[in-house]
């Protein structure tokens, strides 16, 4: 009898514990299913969390959780601060998220991409102890305390977020992300439309070209284009675009003062480049105007004034550029005659 | 006796030249002077140091040239070099542009034939200045072709001393660019000549010029894209002509066939996307020719226009489908990253860090333009304007060349070199046209007052007549003042160029110069000391491991096998070396033994204050090593994101192989008065680990100023 009791007890224990396991597993799979639906609702696959869902998916679940969460900390009021580059980072994060989901055909249940917004979820920010942005945390399956057990991505990674995020994920979760799907600039439909348009347009264009009546036959347009290309190149606009240089800097010591010129070769600021580019261009153009336009002016006085004006402006521009160049590069050009001749 | 003066004056009279002859004489003597000037202004480095090869890449070129002179062309073509990239080796014949080497050897053979007993090194050192001189001649003829002989002369003078060109063509800089700029300008000149004359002979010459360019430099891609672009613009602006048809077709077909003979280029002309523009324009030309013929045959305009519509649509469609099929089937390779980075400059930064990291590939700031072009920058827009005022096929070409190269120069610093000839030519037009107008004014004796460009838009005759009537009182004085102004500017240009050449572009960087405490020049010749030590004191088959920067120099001067060199074709191999340098000694020795290394060479500037040494390059070794082997992590070597070598440095940094090899025995050394021993002058700190002990390596040789340090790998301990 006793044995049967014990047996019964064991049986019931097994069944109860099984039931418990099942119910735990059920709760877990429910959470995963919730996450999946949330993920499918979002366009990029980034789940938008708030204080309630943070407690639902992270703090009130038992470890180990069947999933990891990668959380991006966002603050909409700070989006217009250009040095934080938050909108760019949001975009890159969404790109990695959608690529990850696409590469796993939506069957991934191990890792979810989430974001938290500061105004909605201030207490969650406190839980993570996040005081500065941008920030990305990985909440692993075993993380108990959000302050201590979570992995924070290093700040150096934010300069090239997509690559370093992939590295970060792959090193911490042992999941592969796969290739990043950069969205093409023009979609396939647009491509077809454009090609179709070009095909229809080309015979008309060809006829016009043969007849010689397009704007391409007007040298003035070519000339202004040429001057623009020149200005664009010598003002270092490429430098500004590639290095993402700001137009000017704030003086650290005196916030009211702006710095327009940067001392040191190989680096320049935006406005500085445009100013010098303008100086470069103006001299040549004045020379052209004097030799080709001014000569046809009939009034002698205007002619002389124009002449004197362009001579002085050219002189000033050349002087200014040479002064700036010597100041910037600290090369003092000297002649090869004895120094007392100077 | 009385007849003597008469006969002397007769003699003088017979020597007296006609104006035309005088002009010719002056022109030829100016050209000769410019030719010599272009040569001697590039000799600063030879005078200041000695006749030697500069920098890094030229040493490889020199070594291959030496091989070519000793073993002949066929051995050179089939050369498998086992002395570099040990244990992989390198197929040299198929992975270089042989134009430079063949040229140097040809010059050498000719000199030998003429019984000048020169060494091949002297020929190599002086190849670049010699070709710079030739470039001035081409610039003269080019200027003459697009404007007049005056502009040609000015262009020759400007290009002879322009710093943008001198930077790559001083004596000793034995690199591909030295001959390539000559080939580039020559090809362009001959092509423009061919377009102007429509002669088959000139277009044949341009095909050969192109062939020479392809054999010399990878920058030939610029030609094969610029010329079709030019042709396309001519077609669009309605300047299609039979001359253009002959010039382009001959040049393209022959140039392509010739270029395929270079093994490194191979079939790229028909397979790679970078060359497809030329082919597309080639077919477009045929369509134009065909249409012209049909137009000639059909008298009815309406019929012709209907025909035109159908042909153009189908031609464009067929071309598009062919290109698409080629791309999809993989027959036509897509554009390379380098090409992308020129078109979309932000591409390299986002996608190819190895290109973005090279200092020559940085985008150009305005001060670099000023440094390399000086007043030419101010004259360039004026020259552009003059060209537009007198549009012809030739001026359209130079404008396009100037603008495209100017754009590329803005994207990458090193491409200023390609823009230089165009900038010189266009500025020369501005200078020449202005000076010519002013002098015409001065010599006119109030009869023919001509201002403005002489052959400019001949539109308003009445206004120029009005000008004639009101003779202006201060006109001559004004012209004189302006002339003086122009000459002042040009003299400043000459001063600037000479100064830049002497101060910035003439250091060989293998021999270092510094100012001593009393302002005297101190020379550090440690590199060569170390390489000759290697050559004299190590076994013939010794393998030397160093960072890739020094690979070419070690093989060329030390004559020893290296693991990696400046031809960075195998990133993994470089990363292996980077990993060894950034590991602890006992981990590194495993890698070193697996690569059969006998000697390890490091470059150290702590004693002399030489700042581009291995400690300062070390982070790149970590990054490149970490890129392949994730065990190496950059943050391990940094303290709060800061790179330090003093007491506060990261522990991994203080014990890695590179640190140990650089600072071995340095802790005992006094470098500067009033500073503690072990004071690093390059970084201005006292080093953090003064007690460096080596277990598996031993110091073999340190040069007199400690710049190069060589360590021997100890054989493994005996096992019992």
B/e letters for A302-341, b = 16+ CB within 10 Å, e = fewer, are ebeebbeebbeebeebbeebbebbeebbebebeeeeeeee
- Please report, for the domain that includes residue B699, its CATH number: 3.40.50.12610
Q: If DSSP codes are grouped into helix, strand and coil, which group holds residue B507?
A: coil
Other Cβ atoms within 10 Å of B686 Cβ, number = 16
Question: What percent of chain A is helix, strand and coil (3-state, nearest 5)?
Answer: 60, 10, 30
Compute the nearest-CA separation of B349 from chain A (Å).
7
Write the DSSP assignment of B267-311 as a string of letters: THHHHBGGGHHHHHHHHHHHHHHHHHHHHHH---HHHHHHHHHHH
Size of interface A-B (CB pairs under 8 A): 199
Write the DSSP assignment of B599-624 as a string of letters: EEEEE--TTTT-SSSHHHHHHHHHHH
Domain boundary among B287, B314, B333: B333
Contact by Cβ (8 Å): B637, B652: yes
Q: Pick the range with the lowest mean pLDDT from A267-276, B269-278, B323-332, B360-369.
A: B323-332
pTM of this prediction? 0.78
Q: What is the pLDDT of residue B461?
A: 34
N- to C-terminal Cα separation, chain B: 112
Residue-wise pLDDT for B567-600, tens only, equals 877 888 888 999 999 999 999 999 999 999 999 9
Euclidean distance between CA atoms B292 and B445, whole angstroms = 52
Express as a percent the part of chain B with pLDDT over 90: 48
- Please report, for the domain that includes residue A47, its CATH number: 3.40.30.10
Contact by Cβ (8 Å): B209, B224: no
Residue-wise pLDDT for B307-339, tens only, equals 777 887 788 788 888 878 877 777 776 666 666
Where is pLDDT greater, at B583 or B633? Answer: B583
Domain assignment of residue B91, yes or no = no
Q: In this structure, are A230 and A283 located in the same domain?
A: yes
Where is pLDDT greater, at A40 or B137? Answer: B137
Residue A73 phi, psi dihedral angles, 5° rounding:
-95, 120
pLDDT, mean of residues A207-215? 66
Q: Pick the range with the lowest mean pLDDT from A157-161, B505-509, B560-564.
A: A157-161
B470 pLDDT tier (thresholds 50, 70, 90): very low
Contact call for B380 and A227, based on CB within 8 A: no
CA dihedral (B7, B9, B11, B13) positive or negative: negative
Express as a percent the part of chain B with pLDDT over 70: 90
Domain assignment of residue A157, yes or no = yes
pLDDT, mean of residues B632-657? 87
pLDDT, mean of residues A300-314? 86
Domain assignment of residue B606, yes or no = yes
Q: Pick the range with the lowest mean pLDDT from A264-273, B119-128, B375-384, B399-408.
A: A264-273
Contact call for B365 and A273, based on CB within 8 A: yes
Q: What is the pLDDT of residue B662?
A: 92
Compute the nearest-CA separation of A64 from chain B (Å).
28
Other Cβ atoms within 10 Å of A208 Cβ, number = 15
A268 pLDDT tier (thresholds 50, 70, 90): confident
Strands of A19-93 (E only): list them. 46-49, 68-74
Find the largest Cα–Cα distance for chain A: 132
Q: Taking 90 as the threshold, does the pLDDT of residue B432 lie above it?
A: yes
Residue A189 contacts B where some CB pair is shorter than 8 Å: no
Q: What is the pLDDT of residue B457?
A: 34
Domain assignment of residue B378, yes or no = no
Compute the nearest-CA separation of A99 from chain B (Å).
17
B528 pLDDT tier (thresholds 50, 70, 90): very high
Residue B441, Cα to own-chain centre: how many angstroms? 41
B455 pLDDT tier (thresholds 50, 70, 90): very low
Domain boundary among B267, B302, B333: B333
Task: Kindly report each contact of residues A84-90 with a partner whose C-beta sits within 8 Å and lies 24 or more positions away, as own/partner.
Answer: A84/A133, A84/A134, A85/A134, A85/A158, A86/A133, A86/A134, A88/A161, A89/A134, A89/A158, A89/A161, A90/A115
> For residue B620, what are the domain limits?
525-713
Euclidean distance between CA atoms B617 and B357, whole angstroms = 12
Residue B580 phi, psi dihedral angles, 5° rounding:
-60, -45
B350 pLDDT tier (thresholds 50, 70, 90): low
Q: In this structure, are A118 and A240 located in the same domain?
A: no
Give Cα separations from A240 to A250, B358, B411 (angstroms). Answer: 17, 18, 10
Compute the nearest-CA separation of B511 from chain A (Å).
23
Test mutation, B366, B461, B489, B497, chain A, max A CBs within 10 A: B366
Residue-wise pLDDT for A73-91, tens only, equals 888 777 777 667 778 888 8
pLDDT, mean of residues A102-114? 77
Residue B52 phi, psi dihedral angles, 5° rounding:
-150, 165
Where is pLDDT greater, at B507 or B706? Answer: B706
Contact call for A333 and B380, based on CB within 8 A: no
Residue-wise pLDDT for B206-264, tens only, equals 999 999 999 999 889 999 999 999 999 898 887 889 999 999 999 999 999 999 999 88
Question: What is the tally of structural domains in chain B?
Answer: 2
Q: What is the mean pLDDT of chain B?
A: 86
Domain assignment of residue B542, yes or no = yes
CA nearest neighbour of A67 among A20, A103, A30: A30
Residue A68 phi, psi dihedral angles, 5° rounding:
-110, 150
Instruction: Provide the chain A residues 77-106 that lie in CB contact (below 8 A) with chain B.
Output: none
Q: What is the pLDDT of residue B412?
A: 85
Residues from chain A that touch B619, judged by Cβ atoms under 8 A, are: none
B448 pLDDT tier (thresholds 50, 70, 90): very low
Residue-wise pLDDT for A27-80, tens only, equals 777 888 888 888 888 877 788 888 888 888 877 777 778 888 888 888 877 777
Domain boundary among B312, B333, B354: B333
Domain assignment of residue B191, yes or no = yes
Domain assignment of residue A2, yes or no = no
B/e letters for A119-140, b = 16+ CB within 10 Å, e = fewer, are eebeebbebbebeebbbbbbbb
Q: In this structure, are A119 and A223 located in the same domain?
A: no
Question: What is the tally of structural domains in chain A?
Answer: 2
Contact call for B365 and A214, based on CB within 8 A: no
Give Cα separations from A1 to A11, A13, A15, B530, B605 (angstroms). Answer: 15, 18, 20, 95, 91
A230 closest CB neighbour out of B310, B368, B403 = B403
Where is pLDDT greater, at B55 or A184? Answer: B55
In this structure, what DSSP letter does residue B364 have? P
Q: What is the pLDDT of residue B324?
A: 80
In this structure, what DSSP letter does residue A202 have? H
Nearest CA in chain B to A235: B366
Residues from chain A that touch B463, judged by Cβ atoms under 8 A, are: 296, 298
Q: What is the pLDDT of residue A3?
A: 57
Domain boundary among A140, A173, A206: A173
Domain assignment of residue B262, yes or no = yes
> For residue A286, what are the domain limits?
218-341
Euclidean distance between CA atoms B189 and B139, whole angstroms = 8
Contact by Cβ (8 Å): A155, A82: no
Other Cβ atoms within 10 Å of A188 Cβ, number = 8
A12: alpha, beta or left, given left = phi > 0 and alpha = psi -120 to 50? alpha
Where is pLDDT greater, at B285 or A168? Answer: B285
Euclidean distance between CA atoms B577 and B563, whole angstroms = 8
A120 pLDDT tier (thresholds 50, 70, 90): confident
Euclidean distance between CA atoms B680 and B9, whole angstroms = 78
Q: In this structure, are A56 and A159 located in the same domain?
A: yes
CA nearest neighbour of B79 among B66, B90, B65: B90
A236 closest CB neighbour out of B403, B410, B489 = B410
Q: What is the pLDDT of residue A9?
A: 58
Domain assignment of residue A203, yes or no = no
Q: In this structure, are A160 and A222 located in the same domain?
A: no
Compute the nearest-CA separation of B499 from chain A (Å).
7
Q: What is the pLDDT of residue B453?
A: 38
Q: If DSSP codes are grouped into helix, strand and coil, which group holds residue B518?
A: coil
Residues from chain B that touch A270, judged by Cβ atoms under 8 A, are: none
Q: In this structure, are A47 and A166 located in the same domain?
A: yes
Q: In this structure, are A34 and A122 located in the same domain?
A: yes
Domain assignment of residue B372, yes or no = no
Residue A299 contacts B where some CB pair is shorter than 8 Å: no
Contact by Cβ (8 Å): B263, B94: yes
Q: What is the pLDDT of residue B248?
A: 95
Residue-wise pLDDT for B545-561, tens only, equals 999 889 999 999 999 99
Q: In this structure, are A241 and A297 located in the same domain?
A: yes
Residue-wise pLDDT for B8-28, tens only, equals 667 767 777 788 889 999 999
Q: Taking 60 as the threshold, does the pLDDT of residue A304 lie above it?
A: yes
Domain assignment of residue A13, yes or no = no
Where is pLDDT greater, at A201 or A106? Answer: A201
Domain assignment of residue B34, yes or no = no
Q: Cβ neighbours of residue A205 under 8 Å, at least 6 residues apart? A: A214
Euclidean distance between CA atoms A167 and A176, whole angstroms = 9
Overall size of chain B counted in residues: 720
């Amino acid at each position: 009898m006793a044995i049967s009791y014990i047996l019964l007890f064991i049986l019931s224990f097994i069944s109860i514990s099984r039931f418990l396991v099942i119910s735990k597993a059920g709760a877990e799979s429910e959470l995963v299913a919730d996450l999946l639906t949330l993920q499918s609702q979002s366009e990029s696959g980034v789940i938008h969390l708030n204080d309630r869902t943070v407690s639902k998916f992270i703090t009130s679940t038992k470890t180990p959780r069947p999933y990891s969460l990668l959380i991006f900390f966002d603050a909409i009021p700070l989006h217009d601060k250009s040095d934080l580059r938050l909108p760019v980072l949001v975009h890159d994060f969404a790109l990695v998220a959608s690529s990850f989901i696409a590469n796993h055909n939506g069957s991934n249940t191990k890792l979810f991409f989430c974001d938290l917004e500061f105004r909605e979820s201030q207490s969650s920010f406190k839980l993570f102890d996040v005081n500065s942005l941008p920030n990305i945390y990985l909440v692993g399956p075993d993380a108990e305390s959000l302050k201590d057990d979570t992995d924070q991505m290093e700040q150096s990674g934010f300069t090239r977020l997509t690559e370093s995020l992939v590295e970060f994920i792959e090193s911490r979760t042992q999941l592969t992300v796969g290739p990043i799907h950069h969205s093409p600039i023009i979609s396939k439909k647009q491509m077809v439309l454009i090609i179709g348009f070009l095909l229809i347009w080309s015979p008309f264009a060809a006829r016009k070209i043969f007849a010689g009546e397009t704007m391409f036959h007007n040298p003035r347009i070519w000339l202004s284009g040429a001057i623009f290309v020149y200005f664009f190149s010598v003002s270092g606009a490429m430098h500004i675009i590639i290095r993402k240089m700001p137009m000017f800097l704030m003086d650290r010591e005196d916030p009211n003062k702006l710095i327009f010129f940067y001392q040191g070769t190989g680096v320049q600021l935006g406005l500085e480049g445009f100013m010098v580019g303008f100086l470069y261009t103006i001299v040549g153009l004045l020379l052209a105007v004097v030799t080709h336009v001014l000569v046809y002016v009939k009034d002698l006085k205007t002619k002389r004034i124009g002449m004197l004006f362009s001579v002085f402006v050219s002189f000033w521009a050349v002087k200014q550029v040479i002064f700036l160049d010597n100041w910037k590069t600290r090369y003092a050009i000297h002649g090869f005659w004895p120094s007392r001749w100077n | 006796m009385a007849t003597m003066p008469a006969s002397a004056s007769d003699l003088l009279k017979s020597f007296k030249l006609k104006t035309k002859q005088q002009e010719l004489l002056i022109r030829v003597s100016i050209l000769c002077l410019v030719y010599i000037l272009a040569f001697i202004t590039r000799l600063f480095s030879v005078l200041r140091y000695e006749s030697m090869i500069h920098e890094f890449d030229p040493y490889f070129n020199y070594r291959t040239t030496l091989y070519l002179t000793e073993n002949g062309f066929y051995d050179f073509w089939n050369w498998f070099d086992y002395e570099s990239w040990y244990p992989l080796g390198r197929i040299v014949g198929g992975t270089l542009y042989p134009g430079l080497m063949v040229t140097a050897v040809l010059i050498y053979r000719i000199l030998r034939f003429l019984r000048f007993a020169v060494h091949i090194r002297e020929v190599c050192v002086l190849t670049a200045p010699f070709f710079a001189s030739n470039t001035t001649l081409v610039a003269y003829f080019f200027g003459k072709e697009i404007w007049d002989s005056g502009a040609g002369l000015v262009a020759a003078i400007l290009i002879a001393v322009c710093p943008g060109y001198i930077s790559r063509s001083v004596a000793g800089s034995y690199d591909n660019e030295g001959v390539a700029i000559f080939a580039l300008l020559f090809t362009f000149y001959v092509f423009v000549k061919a377009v102007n004359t429509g002669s088959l002979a000139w277009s044949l010459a341009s095909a050969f010029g192109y062939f020479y360019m392809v054999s010399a430099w990878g920058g030939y891609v610029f030609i094969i894209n610029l010329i079709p672009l030019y042709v396309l613009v001519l077609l669009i602006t309605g300047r299609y002509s039979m001359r253009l048809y002959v010039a382009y077709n001959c040049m393209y077909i022959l140039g392509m066939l010739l270029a395929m003979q270079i093994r490194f280029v191979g079939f790229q002309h028909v397979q790679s996307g970078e060359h497809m523009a030329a082919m597309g324009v080639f077919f477009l030309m045929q369509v134009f020719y065909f249409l012209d013929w049909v137009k000639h045959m059909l008298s009815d305009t309406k019929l012709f226009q209907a025909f035109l519509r159908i042909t153009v649509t189908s031609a464009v469609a067929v071309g598009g489908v062919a290109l698409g099929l080629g791309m999809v089937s993989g027959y036509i390779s897509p554009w390379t990253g380098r090409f992308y980075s020129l078109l979309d400059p932000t591409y390299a930064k986002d996608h190819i860090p190895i290109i973005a990291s090279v200092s020559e590939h940085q985008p150009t700031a305005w001060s670099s333009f000023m440094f390399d072009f000086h007043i030419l920058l101010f004259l360039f827009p004026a020259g552009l304007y003059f060209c537009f005022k007198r549009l012809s096929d030739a001026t359209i070409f130079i404008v396009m060349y100037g603008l495209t190269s100017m754009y590329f120069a803005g994207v990458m610093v090193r491409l200023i070199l390609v823009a230089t000839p165009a900038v010189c030519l266009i500025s020369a037009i501005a200078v020449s046209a202005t000076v010519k107008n002013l002098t015409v004014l001065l010599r006119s004796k109030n009869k023919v007052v001509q201002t403005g460009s002489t052959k400019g838009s001949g539109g308003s005759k009445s206004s120029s007549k009005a000008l004639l009537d009101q003779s202006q009182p201060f006109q001559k004085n004004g012209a004189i003042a302006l002339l003086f102004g122009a000459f002042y500017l040009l003299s400043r240009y000459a001063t600037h160029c000479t100064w830049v050449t002497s101060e910035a572009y003439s250091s060989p960087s293998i021999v270092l110069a510094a100012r001593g405490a009393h302002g005297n020049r101190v020379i550090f010749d440690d590199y060569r000391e170390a390489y000759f030590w290697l050559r004299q004191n190590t076994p013939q088959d010794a393998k030397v491991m160093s960072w890739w920067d020094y690979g070419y120099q070690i093989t060329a001067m030390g004559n020893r096998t290296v693991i990696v060199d400046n031809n960075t074709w195998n990133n993994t191999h470089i990363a292996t070396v980077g990993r060894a340098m950034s590991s602890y000694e006992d981990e590194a020795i495993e890698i070193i033994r697996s690569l059969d290394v006998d000697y390890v060479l490091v470059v150290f500037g702590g004693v002399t204050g030489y700042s581009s040494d291995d400690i300062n390059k070390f982070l790149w070794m970590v990054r490149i090593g970490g890129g392949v082997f994730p065990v190496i992590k950059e943050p391990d070597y940094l303290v709060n994101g800061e790179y330090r070598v003093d007491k506060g440095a990261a522990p991994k940094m203080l014990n890695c192989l590179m640190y140990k090899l650089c600072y071995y025995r340095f802790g005992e050394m006094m470098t500067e008065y009033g500073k503690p021993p072990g004071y690093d002058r390059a970084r201005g700190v006292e080093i953090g680990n003064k007690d460096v002990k080596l277990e598996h390596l031993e110091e073999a040789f340190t040069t007199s100023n400690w710049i190069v340090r060589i360590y021997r790998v100890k054989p493994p301990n005996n096992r019992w």
